[in-house]
Structure 1
Amino acid sequence: MKHKVNDSVTNIVVNRKAKYNYFVESTLDAGLVLLGWEVKALKLGNVNIVNSYVSFHLGEVYLFGVQFNPLHTTSLHTFHHLKRKIKVLLKKNEIISLHNKIYKNGYTAIVLSFFLKNSWCKIKIAIAKGKTQRDKRDEEKKSMWNLEKSRIMKKVNLV
């Protein structure tokens, strides 16, 4: 008897500035080691991931710069450290390839989104290179031209 696998993925928080500030080369999914109040805050979307990045500390992968805003209903006897480093759960070959890309090739690892997959909190890590101001202007010109082009084609198709 085959079991039905339910791979439901729900995006909770998305870093919208990531694609504006970086050229995304590749992505990978990773698990996290979170505290209970952090999971509750994450499920309600009380997380800021704009300046978050993934780095190595003592041979392990950690997530830095994520700010969890605690709920008012959580217990008062726990200490809420809002910007603590969070351990990222990856396979050994993924850690090695991430380390090689970051330190040898000059890429950076940023967080694209937090999501729930089968009730597990996970992150989507992007291996990316930073954009210069010129790259951002060129991309804006392309998008404006594509928008204008679609307007012209719409007018031509109506006539």
Structure 2
Amino acid sequence: MTRLPIDDILPCLREALAARTEAVLEAPPGAGKTTRVPLALLDEPWLDGQKIVMLEPRRLAARSAAEQLARGLNETTGETVGYRIRFDSHVGPRTRIEVVTEGILTRMLQRDPALEGVGLLIFDEFHERSLDADLGLALALQARELLRDCPLCACC
């Protein structure tokens, strides 16, 4: 596998997420954020077998990211990695990484504000700000504050 710039900071990211409930990762385009980070975090002990949901702002990007992540595991989409976009879904009972678009994330949060079974929510390409992405972030932060147990701080 070709080495990417993001590979050098993955140990620091793992440590940061083990110690805190959030992290901001900034790296140039092509560094490997989308394709390496979810796979690198999939088996972290603090995730405890829960799902990773990754927000991609566009349908084509969501599908492409899921396909690339699945290829990294020598699988097809719908196995460990899947995607859900408007009018199309490739997830299965073993799916642990779901790449979703903004509207899907908003509906997920409205249907289940605690996001039961989700251990990590990644906002990819968040610099591409939109009302839907901002709403998703606001709902996720509110749900974390009100519905999640947070042993690291007194706010939850």
**Smaller-chain TM-score bracket:** under 0.3
Instruction: Give 1 or 2 for the bigger CA radius of gyration.
Output: 1
In terms of fraction of residues, the more helix-rich structure is 2
Q: Give the structure-2-normalised TM-score.
A: 0.25
